[in-house]
Structure 1
């Protein structure tokens, strides 16, 4: 079953393409989390993936696909608040091709330093969301680069979907998966593959306050069709108000209409729980999914929904500026 050009076959091809280069990330449990929720929680540790986030899967799949099909690619360019930029920089290095990453000047320094460390040319832009698009477009035009966007791209989505294949091999009895969402590449890929493997599995999206994702899922309209804008949240990895033109219809069809919209303090508490009780380092976007898993909202749901997967999407934390 293909969704807007991405189907399970594309996910399986992506897994074959990237599996020799990435980690098969572990799944961990927490007896304290299970006790609090009355469920069995399974945390997929993409915070331990290459470059510190799931973004590596999609970026590498897209880069290697271009290299397979084009003998004259001069390099890659993207815009990113951090994690996708790191992932594309690393993937380009794997492919032996140049990479340029446009990053807003206020992005965490730990992420900017990592992008440079993976060998990419970092290009800083203004703080407005449109600035990154304009700068990226100029670079693409001037240097004839291949643009790999952070989420709204068939090969990126297919790469992120490889998480589902691993996760459902590791925990076949999952009843639901909680996924933090920004543009929707991660959740779209996971939904496509998970539903293909296990049609009755439930896909729940996790957002900061203000994204209006429930309205999007019920109407099929993107949360915001104007110029790109950010939510006011500590979770910089899921700050984007919009979902994508490709990802929105996928999620409208495959995700549950009920969304976990988390307060800032809940996100912080989710991070703290992971640090203190689970002994894993996660960034705020992953803190949102932990918070959703521990929430009253989940406890109030169908008691037959027992085995819950939680995506720990990234671990690139600026330890000099923790949110607490």
Structure 2
């Protein structure tokens, strides 16, 4: 069996298309190199130096910054805390967003209203959300404690943001409320792409709601679920503004997260080298978790 040689005109056309594609990609590649790759490389270099943010000299200290953060209890406490945010955002956040999307997709009247209401938290600023929930969760005069008192549950009143035992779950609940709108819209868009004929055929076969969801809805939402899960997980692990406004890492360090710890190390303690080392360790953990999550979802949805 002989193969026909590629015509020169076809080869030139393929080369021209390739060059045209790279020409369109060049601005984006340049921006990524300037604002992502370059700062990342500079952060790695700074993690081996000692700099206070003011002095013109930044002496090379080798692994001293990494040795410092290895014994920094605040940083590792923040890493443990952010795993809680990641788990809550990944499980509860995605579960609530999916449940709301399924409920809104099932109704015919009022869909626009509920779609707006459920997405509304996502358009608010972090400061607005922080001030709102600071008043809701305030001890004594807070809206939540007042509501518990009115329904006869006054014994459950708490200092929601000041009690070490409940501060982390309280902030995690605020995060879920603040971020569920994005996943809700993506799930809702994915549900509207599922062919209606499949549901009609399943109903004729006697399949119930759970059977239809498990056999039709869930498999068709696989690509959307992977995207929403990854984005929600990354948002939860990189949480900053919500924690800073509500608790600033307190009480003690019970709600401290890595992004806030890095911020304090650089802009409060003026130790940019150790802050850069923290960012390298945390960034590496984010990349590793992202790869593991993508590998897991890819193996699950494409056996």
TM-score tier by shorter-chain length is under 0.3
Q: Greater CA radius of gyration, 1 or 2?
A: 2
Structure 2 length normalisation: TM-score?
Answer: 0.22
Q: Which has the higher helix share?
A: 2
Structure 1 length normalisation: TM-score?
Answer: 0.21
Q: Which has the higher strand share?
A: 1
